Structure 1
Amino acid sequence: MNFLGVVFKILNLLIFTVISIILLAKSHTINPVEEFFIICISGIAFLFPWVVFTKAKYLKTKNHLGYILRALFSITGMVTWIEALKSIGSNEATLISYLIPLFTLALAAVFKEEKINKIVFLSITLCIVIILFTLKLETLKFNLWGVSVALCSVVSWALYEIICKKQSYSEHYLSQAFYTFLFAGLMMLPYVIRNDILSKIIDHKEIGFLGALRVMNVVCLFLAYKFAPINVLAPLAFLRLVFMGIGSFILFQIIPSLSVVIASIIIVAINIYTFQIQKLRKNNANEIL
């Protein structure tokens, strides 16, 4: 079962990279909120035939708060991620995104009302220091705004994945995708109406097909968490730089610098070590019980 989880997680990362690269290419003509709203609308349209075919029998849920929170973190995660790509570059933003697994561990402990493990705390601190040092080497002027929105994206995606993991056992994966798009679209609707974004949808209809990709991305994430535990999936985050590096080179002829690659390897190693320690502690605790 873990194998299926790994396969779906790799597909999730690959599809997310494709979406990110295309949105980055379009970001000079349309802002991130507008881009994500178009994705949500097209995602709902893509899933609507399934809703009709199943007579909406899978849409019955009592956990509306969970979907509202997921929609909120989905918006903040995607919008700040696109802004980070624009501000500090795709490979540098990807480097910061490697903090997501560690933040997921830390925030999961907080929600369980447990103390954050010292190893997790030290790992996060060390990774942040490595990231800041690497970014300082990469640029003459430190981009505080770009780093800030990238960290905001990290926290948002970590919270999103925690809620996603919790709901993956109780809700149909397509209904999860539908409700996430629906609530996200409704949240952005006041901004859309006030800024007359509806008229831009036709002008940027090519972004619409990303809605279908986003559906597949979300579904792959749900299935990954269904078939494998988070400690198995989290270390796969290192593939982000591989996929993003290939995509950036193909579209923008940008190659990850040696310092970014080395920093990525170190941070991934810290991630893997931390998750293995957590796994061993959990196994030892189970044996004692």
Structure 2
Amino acid sequence: MARMNALKGIALQIGATFVFTIMAAMVRIVSERIPTGEVVFARSFFALFPLLALLALRNEIGAAVRTAHPLGHVLRGLIGVLAMSLSFTALAFLPLADATAIGFTAPLITVALAAVMLGERVQFYRWAAVAVGLAGVVVMLWPHIGGGFETRESAIGATCALIGAFCTAGAMVQVRRLTATESTAAIVFYFQSLAAVAGLATAAWGWVLPNWGDAALLIAIGLFGGVGQILLTESYRFAPASVVAPFNYSAMVWSLLLGFVLFGEIPPLLVVAGALIVIGAGLFVILRERQLGVKREQDAAAGPPGGPAT
């Protein structure tokens, strides 16, 4: 068990978001020429190499292939592949920052789905945060589908990004179910493997032979995805989720910077405003959960009312 080190956990989380944003930028570049299914295959297959290297280093290969619920992994894989495909499609039609911002809705949607599908008790403040976050989504989407001054491609991208966020939330709910019996190594390994197989199956609908530059980008997409997954997982080894999770929103900073530098993109003010609303709602849920967690620990340490029995 790794010792708690909040600064290291935060640094790893920020590093993970940076790596994932670079990966998303590369997906945006190749998506102009490479089919989505081919990109999904590259993202998943080449990600296996750094992941398997880490598992081998920790002698966790056995834990990665051991499973009590193979069908649960299949369901998680199908939902996850759909989420990945939709998010990659969104990147082909939307500016990098816009696609990233809409993706921030996934954690809030997870709250609602967990209440419905897992029977989790969701307090009023969390439902209020979800409602506020969804209002932020409307603000973000307005320039793309409501204002009437964007292209058809922009509307398609925004729709794919939002549906992809719902699928990501669904995948997270399934991950919560799997964690009851499955190791983290198994959940990550089976998802990457199933996603690679699903991506490979799309070859029947026509892949293209990439040039050397695109081939290098496809390999890099997978490697960056694998490294990002490792950094993300490691961040939770060194600090509680309530500490490191807020720094996932640093992805908005990276996407704004990379979008401007690589593509000359400047998102509309409404998109930025909506993103800030969604981020604020997400941070409220995280910080409130942390406060409640501390209170529960204090109550447990204090013992039952009236003090210990004598």
| TM > 0.5 | yes
1:200 aligns to what SS in structure 2? coil
| Structure 1 residues 155-197: Cα deviation after superposition (integer angstroms, max 9, x where no partner) | 2333444555764996364x654432211122333322x2243
Report the count of equivalent residues. 286
In the alignment, is residue 246 of structure 1 matched against residue 257 of structure 2? yes
Task: Quote the Cα distance in structure 2 between the aligned partners of 1:202 and 1:280.
Answer: 52
Deviation, structure 1 residue 69 = 3.6
Structure 1 spans left out of the alignment, 5+ residues: none
TM-score normalized with structure 1 length: 0.82
Task: Quote the Cα distance in structure 1 between the aligned partners of 2:61 and 2:143.
Answer: 53
Match of 1:187 among 198, 217, 229: 198
Match of 2:209 among 200, 224, 236: 200
| Structure 1 residues 185-232: Cα deviation after superposition (integer angstroms, max 9, x where no partner) | 22333322x2243x6367642211221111111112222333333333
2:183 equivalent in structure 1: 171
Task: Quote the Cα distance in structure 1 between the aligned partners of 2:27 and 2:92.
Answer: 10
2:99 equivalent in structure 1: 93
Task: Quote the Cα distance in structure 1 between the aligned partners of 2:43 and 2:202.
Answer: 15
User: In structure 2, do the counterparts of structure 1 residues 182 and 251 end up closer, same or farther at CA, with 3 Å as the change threshold?
Assistant: same
User: In structure 2, do the counterparts of structure 1 residues 281 and 106 end up closer, same or farther at CA, with 3 Å as the change threshold?
Assistant: farther
1:107 equivalent in structure 2: 113
Structure 2 spans left out of the alignment, 5+ residues: 305-310
Deviation, structure 1 residue 35 = 0.6
In the alignment, is residue 37 of structure 1 matched against residue 41 of structure 2? yes
Structure 2 letter corresponding to 1:200: L
2:141 equivalent in structure 1: 135
TM-score normalized with structure 2 length: 0.77
Relative to its length, the structure with more helix (as a share) is 1
User: In structure 2, do the counterparts of structure 1 residues 130 and 34 end up closer, same or farther at CA, with 3 Å as the change threshold?
Assistant: same
Task: Quote the Cα distance in structure 1 between the aligned partners of 2:280 and 2:131.
Answer: 14
Deviation, structure 1 residue 154 = 1.5
1:4 equivalent in structure 2: 8
User: In structure 2, do the counterparts of structure 1 residues 105 and 3 end up closer, same or farther at CA, with 3 Å as the change threshold?
Assistant: farther
Please tell me whether the aligned partners of residues 259 and 266 of structure 2 are also in contact (alpha carbons under 8 angstroms).
Answer: yes
User: In structure 2, do the counterparts of structure 1 residues 116 and 58 end up closer, same or farther at CA, with 3 Å as the change threshold?
Assistant: closer
Task: Quote the Cα distance in structure 1 between the aligned partners of 2:61 and 2:12.
Answer: 26
Larger of the two Rg values belongs to structure: 2
Please tell me whether the aligned partners of residues 108 and 133 of structure 2 are also in contact (alpha carbons under 8 angstroms).
Answer: no
Deviation, structure 1 residue 61 = 0.8
Structure 1 letter corresponding to 2:281: I
User: In structure 2, do the counterparts of structure 1 residues 145 and 122 end up closer, same or farther at CA, with 3 Å as the change threshold?
Assistant: farther
Task: Quote the Cα distance in structure 1 between the aligned partners of 2:187 and 2:293.
Answer: 29
Structure 2 letter corresponding to 1:26: V
Deviation, structure 1 residue 65 = 3.6
Task: Quote the Cα distance in structure 2 between the aligned partners of 1:9 and 1:55.
Answer: 22
In the alignment, is residue 21 of structure 1 matched against residue 21 of structure 2? no
Please identify, of 279-288 and 5-14, the stretch whose mean Cα deviation from structure 2 is larger. 279-288
Task: Quote the Cα distance in structure 2 between the aligned partners of 1:158 and 1:205.
Answer: 31
Task: Quote the Cα distance in structure 2 between the aligned partners of 1:274 and 1:86.
Answer: 31
Task: Quote the Cα distance in structure 2 between the aligned partners of 1:228 and 1:49.
Answer: 23
2:308 equivalent in structure 1: none
Please tell me whether the aligned partners of residues 82 and 167 of structure 2 are also in contact (alpha carbons under 8 angstroms).
Answer: yes
